[in-house]
Homo-oligomer: A and B are copies of this chain.
Amino acid sequence: MIIVMKYGADEAQVEAVVHKIHQSGLKEHLSRGAELTIIGVIGDEERLDPSRFAILPGVDRVNRVAKQYKIVSRSTHPQGTTIKVRGIEFGGTQIQIIAGPYAAESAQQMNLTADALAAASCRLMRCGAFHAQPYTAPRKEREALAWLKDAAARHQLPVMAELPDVRMLDAFMEYDIEMIQIGERNMQNLDLLREVGRINKPIILKRGVSATIVEWLMAAESIAAGGNHNIIFCEHGIRTFENAYRNVLDVSAIAVLKQETHLPVMVDPSDACGKSWMVPALTKAAIAAGADGVLLDVHPNPAEALYAADQALAPLDLAQLIAGLQPLAAALGRSL
Contacts and interface: CB of A to CB of B under 8 A. Distances in A.
Copies of this chain, complex-wide, total 4
A283 to B, nearest CB: 9
Contacts of A79: none
A55 B285 contact: no
A279 to B, nearest CB: 9
A186 to B, nearest CB: 8
Interface string A78-97: 00000000000000000000
Contacts of A44: 34
Q: How many interface residues does chain A have, given as a range? A: 35 or more
A236 B185 CA distance: 17
A313 to B, nearest CB: 11
Contacts of A47: 136
A33 B39 CA distance: 13
B51 A308 contact: yes
Looking at chain A's contact residues, is the secondary structure mostly helix, strand, loop, or mixed? mixed
Contact of A248 (B52, B75, B248): B248
A242 B240 CA distance: 9
Contact of A55 (B56, B166, B302): B302
Contact of A310 (B54, B63, B251, B305): B54
Contacts of A40: 31, 33, 38, 40
B241 A212 contact: yes
A293 to B, nearest CB: 15
A284 interface: yes
Interface string A244-281: 11001111111110110000000000001100111001
A123 to B, nearest CB: 22
A206 to B, nearest CB: 13
B327 A36 contact: no
12 contacts: A33-B40, A33-B66, A34-B44, A40-B40, A54-B310, A56-B303, A134-B222, A136-B225, A186-B189, A238-B241, A251-B281, A252-B281
